[in-house]
Structure 1
Amino acid sequence: MSLGIPFTPPEASSIASSVDTLFYTLLAFTFALGLFLASLVVFYAIKYRAGSKADRTGERTRSLPLEVAWTVVSLLIAFVIFGWGAVLFLRREHPPIDALEIAGLGKQWMWEFRHPGGQREINELHVPVGKAVIVSLASQDVIHSFFVPAFRVKQDAVPGRTTHVWFIADEPGRYHLFCAQYCGTQHSEMGGWVTVMQPEAYAAWLGVQGQGDTLAADGEKLFRALGCSGCHGNASKVRAPNLAGIFGRPVALDNQQTVIADDRYLRDSILNPKKEIAAGYDPVMPSFDGLVDEGEMQMLLAYLKSLSPRAAAKSEPVQ
């Protein structure tokens, strides 16, 4: 629904047309309402201009049914707009389970992407057409924002958090990628391209790039280099929580509460281990805050997730 207007980006994702339909509906409605109100202003300004013979002696009247009607109609319109937008928002929050996951790291002033096979890209992102793609975002320094106008998707990359954005590109081509959050003096230069390829061409491109260490493989190396395996390894004599199958599972805490071991919990356990202490264990783990940067955090999280399938989410709480 681009209407052929040059200043609108092309629709190149599965959700783009739905977003545009909502946008143009809102635009048409607000234009019509604004035109109606402006017409009333002009009409009465002319009718009651100074020196006109318009009757100004009429009594002021009040119509309760009219007031109720315009209040109810306005409320219903607001609910429809909210519901429409909420449906689109919820669609964006639930990616398909078979989506291709790519790690994205924003830093002044560039985007770094890492594919499941270990292939790396700087300010370029290659994806297959017709395949759901999740970009797991982190920021090395300040808030950045991953924005591909042609896909109608935008998501902030926030320091200290992992955020996600997903899309299905349905038109092969090359599309602009921007940082949509002011992030410093060279913010305007923090851009790149998303190249959408046929699946066969994408597979060939991956082959040309060569197979590198995956995030999880690098995470395992870092896990050992930091000494984490000394306490959490299978052969460890130190009593520490078993991390096999940890991701997505409920974790019992020493305060009688239970939390889910998601990205947030794993990140906090590394940087601030005394925040949420697993039940039955002493709080002896040191903090790695300042010792692990965001790129390394992505590696560690990928490794911890690789220790268990998502199906482990329904198993017994970690003790």
Structure 2
Amino acid sequence: MNPSFHLLPHSATTASGRYDALFITQTIVLLTVALAIAILIVVFSVRYRAGSKADRSNAPTSARAVEIAWTVTPLVLFIATFIWAAYDFTQLYRVPPDAMPVFVVAKQWMWKLEHANGKREIDELHVPVNRPVRLVMTSQDVIHSFYVPAFRIKQDVVPGRYTTIWFIATETGEFHLHCAEYCGTDHAAMGGRIIVMQPGEYTAWLARGNTQPGMAARGFELYRRYGCSGCHEAQASVHAPDLHGLLGRDVHLSDGRSLIADEAYIRDSILLPRKDVVAGYKPIMPSFAGQISEEDLLAIIEYIRSTGGDHARASQ
């Protein structure tokens, strides 16, 4: 056997071991059940074949214990693995409050990534080891899928909405990044790498050669340029909702619904302002659809985050 052969890809995050254990357990259960059924089929086919000397007299009309066993045992096993998988799935959405945000915009055929301090990357992502990282992702054109086999994470990246995924890398090194959704002619070439570094090295890398303003600072300039401050600040003459500390806050809507403000809500409020109108306010805000790029939207959101908030995520 080739000594470099591995049954599963290399594991490099805190969650990947749990996913591997779940996968192996499910595989063992399924193979065990399939093997047991196959053995019984062969045994019965040989023993009770036409012309065999098997005693067919006084054949039982029922076997309640056997029927219960072959129904309940697989059911319990499958429900147990379902509960296990459901628990791990919920953990994907329980983001640690201290998670480091990274903003991802996918397009044919590249990954554009930006850190909170404004440093940008293409087809590469540098992150520190043993620190939670939260990716906020959207697509500029078609559906893509952010897939890192060693991290056991795969999340669709969809135009017109934000999707998120988080991870904690457990070792330094380079790990392959792929697009796992067919996205056009050069889909196979849409890849990259995740570079996991020691915290000190990452901090030095993050500051090195960065001439971009931080995302929050750039977002504030965009917030003023597009006239948001003329309506949403306390001194504004227009009656509009206060955006300070908005992320994570409960928002009550004019149709009686309520929601927790997240990145998707802010994006929709800018591009589709009549979708979720805040209670007590008139739907007078114009749409900025087609006027603001995805990168600028993310910068405005990061500015709003810098004013406080994220109460819901911090309390999880």
> Is 1:250–1:313's contact at 8 Å kept on the other side of the alignment?
no
Who is 1:123 aligned against?
123
Who is 2:268 aligned against?
268
Who is 2:238 aligned against?
238
Who is 2:217 aligned against?
217
Give the drift of 1:301. 1.6
Who is 1:133 aligned against?
133
Who is 2:203 aligned against?
203
Who is 1:317 aligned against?
none
Who is 2:287 aligned against?
287
> Is 1:105–1:112's contact at 8 Å kept on the other side of the alignment?
yes
Letter in 1 for 2:229: S
Q: Quote the Cα distance in structure 2 between the aligned partners of 1:17 and 1:275.
A: 41
Stretch moving more, 189-198 or 28-37 = 28-37
Who is 1:185 aligned against?
185
Who is 1:175 aligned against?
175
Give the drift of 1:190. 0.9
> Is 1:243–1:304's contact at 8 Å kept on the other side of the alignment?
yes
> Is 2:124–2:192's contact at 8 Å kept on the other side of the alignment?
yes
Give the drift of 1:42. 2.2
Stretch moving more, 97-106 or 241-250 = 241-250
* 1:89-168 alignment runs, 5 A limit: 89-168=89-168
Letter in 1 for 2:196: V
Percent of aligned positions that are identical: 45
Who is 2:304 aligned against?
304
Who is 2:79 aligned against?
79
The count of aligned residue pairs is: 312
Give the drift of 1:203. 1.6
SS in 1 for 2:208: helix
Stretch moving more, 56-65 or 217-226 = 56-65
Q: TM-score, normalised by structure 1?
A: 0.89
Provide Cα deviations, 1:108-151, integer angstroms capped at 9, x if missing partner: 11111111211111000111111111111111111111111101
> Is 2:129–2:168's contact at 8 Å kept on the other side of the alignment?
yes
Q: Quote the Cα distance in structure 1 between the aligned partners of 2:87 and 2:248.
A: 26
* 1:19-34 alignment runs, 5 A limit: 19-34=19-34
Check if 1:229 corresponds to 2:229: yes
> Is 1:245–1:312's contact at 8 Å kept on the other side of the alignment?
no
> Is 1:127–1:133's contact at 8 Å kept on the other side of the alignment?
yes
Provide Cα deviations, 1:208-228, integer angstroms capped at 9, x if missing partner: 232522222222222222222
Letter in 2 for 1:216: A
> Is 1:118–1:215's contact at 8 Å kept on the other side of the alignment?
yes
Provide Cα deviations, 1:176-206, integer angstroms capped at 9, x if missing partner: 0111111112111111100111112112212
Stretch moving more, 236-245 or 131-140 = 236-245
Q: Quote the Cα distance in structure 1 between the aligned partners of 2:145 and 2:58.
A: 58
Q: Quote the Cα distance in structure 2 between the aligned partners of 1:96 and 1:312.
A: 11
Give the drift of 1:83. 1.2
Q: Quote the Cα distance in structure 1 between the aligned partners of 2:255 and 2:201.
A: 53
Letter in 2 for 1:233: E
Give the drift of 1:290. 2.2
Q: Quote the Cα distance in structure 2 between the aligned partners of 1:77 and 1:5.
A: 30
- Unaligned regions of 5+ residues in structure 1, if any? 315-319
Give the drift of 1:53. 4.0
SS in 1 for 2:126: strand
Q: Quote the Cα distance in structure 2 between the aligned partners of 1:313 and 1:154.
A: 22
Provide Cα deviations, 1:27-77, integer angstroms capped at 9, x if missing partner: 122222222222222223333445544445663521123212222222211
Stretch moving more, 93-102 or 232-241 = 232-241
Give the drift of 1:168. 0.8
Q: Quote the Cα distance in structure 2 between the aligned partners of 1:313 and 1:19.
A: 24
Query: RMSD in angstroms over aligned alpha carbons?
Result: 2.3
> Is 1:249–1:313's contact at 8 Å kept on the other side of the alignment?
no
Stretch moving more, 193-202 or 70-79 = 70-79
Stretch moving more, 124-133 or 70-79 = 70-79
Q: Quote the Cα distance in structure 2 between the aligned partners of 1:138 and 1:23.
A: 29
